[in-house]
A and B are shown apart, each in its own frame.
Chain A
Amino acid sequence: MIAQPPPKADVIARRSEIVAGLQALLPASGVISEALRLKPYETDGLPAYRQIPLAVALPETTEQVAAVLAFCHKNGVRVIPRGAGTSLSGGALPMSDSVVVGLMRMNQILDIDYADRCATVQAGVTNIGITNAVAAEGFFYAPDPSSQLACMIGGNVGMNSGGAHCLKYGVTANNLLGLRIVTMQGEILDIGGQHLDAAGYDWLGLMTGSEGMLAMVTEVTVRILRAPEGQRAMLVAFDANETAGRAVDAIIGSGIIPVALEFMDRPAIHACEQFAHAGYPLDAEAMLIIEVEGSVAEQDDLLNRIAALCEPFHPLSLRVSQSVEESVAIWKGRKGAFGAVGRISPDYLCMDGTIPTGQLPFVLRRIGEMSDAYGLKVANIFHAGDGNLHPLIMFDANRPGSFEDAEKFGADILKLCVEVGGCLTGEHGVGVEKRELMTVQFTEIELNQQRRIKTAFDPDWLLNPSKVFPLVEPPQAADLPAAA
């Protein structure tokens, strides 16, 4: 079980008083406090880490969020923000003395402005919900994390989520225009707006990827884009992971930027094919999904050039999607890949590191070697074009020691990513999962500078306090040396 800072005894002791205080602020169904009903809130998309919270609050408006946060601030109660609970880094893992504030009820689309191409939605709107709301008018919201069906935009901001199509369109940060946030003190602030870049410091940039530690996001204004005339996906199969890795490097190196360039290895291909029936090449060791978009002529030209770039790597097969249904099935398999691994393994750890694409063949070979050494299978599924790796380490939580081995293996992979010039996370965030590894990437001085930013917003470290930073010392303001 993951280490947590010691719970605040006084908060635990005032449990019923705190619950009553929350009940006074929210509708009756908005506060959960019975032990049995709290249990499903003990974890998120990373169920290996669990902790039952003190209570759960489900506000329906920004004002209610502000009231809850002000109340918790006044009472010294820690707060854990939660969206759909799909975090793969334990971003929504509660603490025993914390109130989980879930924004699932804030799921309204507030405003769509087609002329200025932006949409304002509440934080609990799902990622795909934005695209669904504007699709009829020929628009879409570009970042598309694989959990886009379920994950919520507030969480996307917190983790600066990416997705398959970010190769061309950028991650959440590149598609964000404005935020309404609530500070731990209960202040409601608007930053950015319906325009690009604001005067002064880039507060939007600071908030994006801050993992719910600086403020809670309640409303989000995003850029929406005109959908392309058309798009087509191509499946290219290879006889080895490394060969596929070299093909990725060749494509990116040539200057072509496909809208998506995704990699799946043999275990992933088999698991996903069972779920999606997309006609994935089951004889291949590795497969690339390459999608291009634009007019038909543009698509043809790009696909031909990409096919020619793949040719020297002797692909086993090369198939271009011929219909919308075929493309949908191809993406269904890829987007459902993490869950689909549940078909071949009872449990998995999904890693998330980023490397320079030139290092793909080397890193893939090293992951294969480590897999043999640890005796744990790996399914490799990732955004190859960005060099964003998602090795899924398969283990069996019912077998003692299996999870600990998987954790060590995962840490080794992430250290390797940093060694070759990459970083610890591409899009899932640090959460609790990778917080101890932050020292691999940053020096103590660098970490302390980041802690000071946290302290500036939340001097008492009440908001999502046990995430991102190593727990080597209690993360208290007083412990931080003054800035040099």
Chain B
Amino acid sequence: MQTNFTVEQLADPNVQSSNQVLRTCVHCGFCTATCPTFVLLGDELDSPRGRIYLIKDMLESGRPATEEVVRHVDRCLSCLACMTTCPSGVHYMHLVDHARQYIEETYTRPWHERMLRNVLQMVLPRPALFRAAVLGARVARPVRRLIPRGSTLGDRVHAMLDLAPGKLPPSGSMQSPQVHKAEGARRGRVALLAGCAQTVLAPSINEATIRLLTRHGIEVVIARGVGCCGALTHHMGRHDPAMASARANIAGWTREIEGDGLDAILINTSGCGTTVKDYGFMFRAEPAEWAMKAERVSALAMDISEYLTTLNYAPTRPMPGLRVAYHAACSLQHGQRVLNEPKALLRKAGFTVVEPAEGHLCCGSAGTYNLVQPAIAGRLRERKLANIARTKPDLIAAGNIGCITQLSGDGTPVIHTVELLDWMAGGPAPAGLPQVATAVPA
């Protein structure tokens, strides 16, 4: 597509990158078909092609972002289904990330929006604060009827209270910085991103990951200084905090890479994985040393299912006879193009894997999307759960804590793929399984 940037504008590395992205787009419109918001709202402006056009106009003009543009960019889930669909290879993720940063820098949101975003940015990446907030939500839940629905603010408060789990599991000690030794001969050494919100909501995911890896002869390092991947603030367009999170992680992992070495950096929350794999790009304009380190971290980053595929995973328990609906997290299927690995591993573990229709459509979780856009997120959740229900599964498997939280509470248990794999290879039965299933002998 034709673009109109001045030489001065193109001196900005972000504009340079976005110009490249826009030049790749030929405006064919294929992306509209697989975009969840276009499917729901039926408006070009809520499709990737429409947003690309709005963003192009905003960036070319150099004007501050306006409410109209912000409305439609905010509705984007960043599910990246458009990138899977795009025949031209348009890197929509980098374009929309730039747009979000531009919006954050040039647009003043209403006070309650700013407050919500500040709270999310402060609380979610900090496990201690997040834990306190979830407990607070439990206290607030009984009085939720006093909070009126219908306003943006009221709906969002309800969304937060709805999503907060009823009770929290105890925080496990396995997730804190340490080295988990391999069982038997050491075959490899990896770092695991313990994450932020996930360590509070479901420590069992990291625990299962560590057990499964060490059992396969892999030493697992939870590196000191590594915390939130930065995706949360990155997707809000808050450049500096996102870079600070990423920098801390790069530093922590670099110590390990240059110390005892790492074969891979594993991520079991695919939303984070997409961002860690993009560190190289995020640091492209930073001083050479950091750019190199970031590039190296991104090159080592792998989803847990990708890495497990390289090991000889084999179940030790008899076939559980369970029907598992595999929910492909967008960050995994679109962001990282990891498609078959989780399904193949689940089949290897002895599960009957079924795939719901419209698997390419987002469940509405999308990071903090279900908190800031509860109406659209809710419609996507209903649609996803209806498609899943048609496959009549015993349980749902997913590789991303966001999706797991979003899809839980509908009667069918939602369990992380790695917990199911660990269970079949000798680990404990994941919580929430149907009663009959847990009777599977060791």
| Chain A residues proximal to chain B, CB less than 8 Å | 29, 32, 34, 36-37, 39-41, 43-45, 47-48, 58, 84-86, 102, 104-105, 107, 124, 126, 128, 147, 149-151, 274-275, 336-343, 346-348, 397-398
Expressed in whole angstroms, the Cα–Cα distance for A86 and B39 within the complex equals: 16
Which of B85-93, B148-156, B166-174, B242-250 lies at the binding interface? B85-93
**CB interface residues, B 1-59, toward A, < 8 Å:** 1-3, 23-34, 38-39, 41-45, 49-50, 53-54, 57
Expressed in whole angstroms, the Cα–Cα distance for A47 and B23 within the complex equals: 12
Which of B24, B45, B54, B90 is packed against the most chain A CB atoms within 10 Å?
B45
| Chain B residues proximal to chain A, CB less than 8 Å | 1-3, 23-34, 38-39, 41-45, 49-50, 53-54, 57, 66, 68-69, 72, 85-90
Q: Is the CB of A47 within 8 A of B27?
A: yes
Q: Is the CB of B42 within 8 A of A58?
A: yes
Q: Is the CB of B34 within 8 A of A149?
A: yes
For the residues of B in contact with A, the DSSP-based class is: helix
Give the shortest distance, in Å, between A149 (CB) and chain B (any CB): 5
Which A-B residue pairs are the 5 nearest by beta carbons? Answer: A339-B87, A342-B88, A336-B87, A397-B2, A105-B42
Expressed in whole angstroms, the Cα–Cα distance for A339 and B31 within the complex equals: 11
Q: Write out the residue numbers on chain A whose beta carbons fall within 8 Å of the beta carbon of B69.
A: 36
Q: Write out the residue numbers on chain B whose beta carbons fall within 8 Å of the beta carbon of A147.
A: 28-30
Give the shortest distance, in Å, between A133 (CB) and chain B (any CB): 11
Q: Is the CB of B54 within 8 A of A85?
A: no
Give the shortest distance, in Å, between B24 (CB) and chain A (any CB): 5
Q: Write out the residue numbers on chain A whose beta carbons fall within 8 Å of the beta carbon of B54.
A: 36-37, 39-40
Expressed in whole angstroms, the Cα–Cα distance for A39 and B58 within the complex equals: 11
Q: Write out the residue numbers on chain A whose beta carbons fall within 8 Å of the beta carbon of B43.
A: 29, 32, 58, 102, 104-105
Q: Is the CB of A340 within 8 A of B87?
A: yes
Contacts A40-B49, A336-B87 supplied; 9 other A-B pairs, CB < 8 Å:
A32-B45, A36-B66, A45-B29, A84-B33, A150-B30, A341-B88, A342-B24, A342-B90, A343-B89
Q: Is the CB of A85 within 8 A of B44?
A: yes
Question: Which of A45, A105, A397 touches B28 (beta carbons < 8 Å)?
Answer: A45
Question: Which of A40, A44, A105, A149 touches B30 (beta carbons < 8 Å)?
Answer: A149
Known: A44-B29, A342-B89. A347 touches B2 (CB 8 A): yes
Q: Is the CB of A40 within 8 A of B44?
A: yes
Q: Is the CB of A346 within 8 A of B23?
A: yes
Q: Write out the residue numbers on chain A whose beta carbons fall within 8 Å of the beta carbon of B50.
A: 40
Total contacts A-B at CB 8 Å: 119
Known: A58-B43, A275-B89. A346 touches B29 (CB 8 A): no
Q: Is the CB of B53 within 8 A of A40?
A: yes
Q: List 7 A-B contacts (CB under 8 A).
A: A37-B54, A40-B53, A150-B32, A336-B87, A347-B1, A347-B26, A397-B1
Give the shortest distance, in Å, between B215 (CB) and chain A (any CB): 33
Expressed in whole angstroms, the Cα–Cα distance for A343 and B88 within the complex equals: 5
Known: A102-B44, A149-B34, A275-B89. A342 touches B26 (CB 8 A): yes
Q: Write out the residue numbers on chain A whose beta carbons fall within 8 Å of the beta carbon of B29.
A: 44-45, 84-86, 147, 150-151
Q: Is the CB of B38 within 8 A of A340?
A: no
Expressed in whole angstroms, the Cα–Cα distance for A151 and B28 within the complex equals: 10
Q: Is the CB of A47 within 8 A of B1?
A: yes
Q: Write out the residue numbers on chain B whose beta carbons fall within 8 Å of the beta carbon of A397.
A: 1-2
Give the shortest distance, in Å, between A400 (CB) and chain B (any CB): 11
Give the shortest distance, in Å, between B430 (CB) and chain A (any CB): 32
Chain A residue nearest to B4 (CB atoms) is A398
Q: Is the CB of A342 within 8 A of B25?
A: yes
Q: Write out the residue numbers on chain A whose beta carbons fall within 8 Å of the beta carbon of B45.
A: 32, 37, 40
Give the shortest distance, in Å, between B28 (CB) and chain A (any CB): 5
Q: Is the CB of A124 within 8 A of B89?
A: no
Expressed in whole angstroms, the Cα–Cα distance for A58 and B42 within the complex equals: 8
Expressed in whole angstroms, the Cα–Cα distance for A107 and B1 within the complex equals: 28
Expressed in whole angstroms, the Cα–Cα distance for A36 and B45 within the complex equals: 10
Which of B43, B54, B66, B89 is packed against the most chain A CB atoms within 10 Å?
B43
Expressed in whole angstroms, the Cα–Cα distance for A347 and B72 within the complex equals: 26
Q: Is the CB of B33 within 8 A of A149?
A: yes
Chain A residue nearest to B5 (CB atoms) is A398
Chain B residue nearest to A83 (CB atoms) is B29
Q: Is the CB of B57 within 8 A of A39?
A: yes
Q: Write out the residue numbers on chain B whose beta carbons fall within 8 Å of the beta carbon of A343.
A: 24, 88-89
Q: Write out the residue numbers on chain B whose beta carbons fall within 8 Å of the beta carbon of A32.
A: 43, 45
Give the shortest distance, in Å, between B388 (CB) and chain A (any CB): 16
Known: A40-B49, A347-B1, A397-B1. A340 touches B88 (CB 8 A): yes
Known: A149-B85, A341-B26, A342-B25. A36 touches B2 (CB 8 A): no
Q: Write out the residue numbers on chain A whose beta carbons fall within 8 Å of the beta carbon of B24.
A: 342-343, 346
Expressed in whole angstroms, the Cα–Cα distance for A397 and B22 within the complex equals: 12
Q: Write out the residue numbers on chain B whose beta carbons fall within 8 Å of the beta carbon of A47.
A: 1-2, 26-27
Which of A29, A85, A274 is packed against the most chain B CB atoms within 10 Å?
A85
Q: Is the CB of B42 within 8 A of A124?
A: yes
Q: Is the CB of A104 within 8 A of B90?
A: no
Give the shortest distance, in Å, between A100 (CB) and chain B (any CB): 9
Known: A104-B38, A336-B87, A338-B87. A126 touches B33 (CB 8 A): yes
Known: A40-B53, A398-B3. A337 touches B87 (CB 8 A): yes
Q: Write out the residue numbers on chain B whose beta carbons fall within 8 Å of the beta carbon of A275.
A: 87-89
Expressed in whole angstroms, the Cα–Cα distance for A340 and B41 within the complex equals: 27
Give the shortest distance, in Å, between A330 (CB) and chain B (any CB): 14
Q: Is the CB of B1 within 8 A of A86?
A: no
Give the shortest distance, in Å, between B47 (CB) and chain A (any CB): 8
Q: Write out the residue numbers on chain B whose beta carbons fall within 8 Å of the beta carbon of A39.
A: 53-54, 57
Q: Write out the residue numbers on chain B whose beta carbons fall within 8 Å of the beta carbon of A45.
A: 27-29
Q: Is the CB of A107 within 8 A of B42?
A: yes
Q: Is the CB of A336 within 8 A of B42?
A: no
Give the shortest distance, in Å, between B273 (CB) and chain A (any CB): 22
Chain B residue nearest to A82 (CB atoms) is B44
Chain B residue nearest to A126 (CB atoms) is B33
Q: Write out the residue numbers on chain A whose beta carbons fall within 8 Å of the beta carbon of B72.
A: 37
Known: A36-B54, A36-B57, A339-B88. A41 touches B28 (CB 8 A): no
Give the shortest distance, in Å, between B5 (CB) and chain A (any CB): 10
Q: Write out the residue numbers on chain B whose beta carbons fall within 8 Å of the beta carbon of A104.
A: 38, 42-44
Q: Write out the residue numbers on chain B whose beta carbons fall within 8 Å of the beta carbon of A126.
A: 33
Expressed in whole angstroms, the Cα–Cα distance for A274 and B24 within the complex equals: 14
Which of B3, B54, B68 is packed against the most chain A CB atoms within 10 Å?
B68
Q: Write out the residue numbers on chain B whose beta carbons fall within 8 Å of the beta carbon of A105.
A: 42-43
Expressed in whole angstroms, the Cα–Cα distance for A151 and B33 within the complex equals: 8
Expressed in whole angstroms, the Cα–Cα distance for A338 and B25 within the complex equals: 11
Q: Write out the residue numbers on chain A whose beta carbons fall within 8 Å of the beta carbon of B31.
A: 150
Known: A40-B45, A40-B49, A104-B38. A339 touches B28 (CB 8 A): yes
Expressed in whole angstroms, the Cα–Cα distance for A346 and B20 within the complex equals: 9
Expressed in whole angstroms, the Cα–Cα distance for A150 and B85 within the complex equals: 10
Give the shortest distance, in Å, between B392 (CB) and chain A (any CB): 15
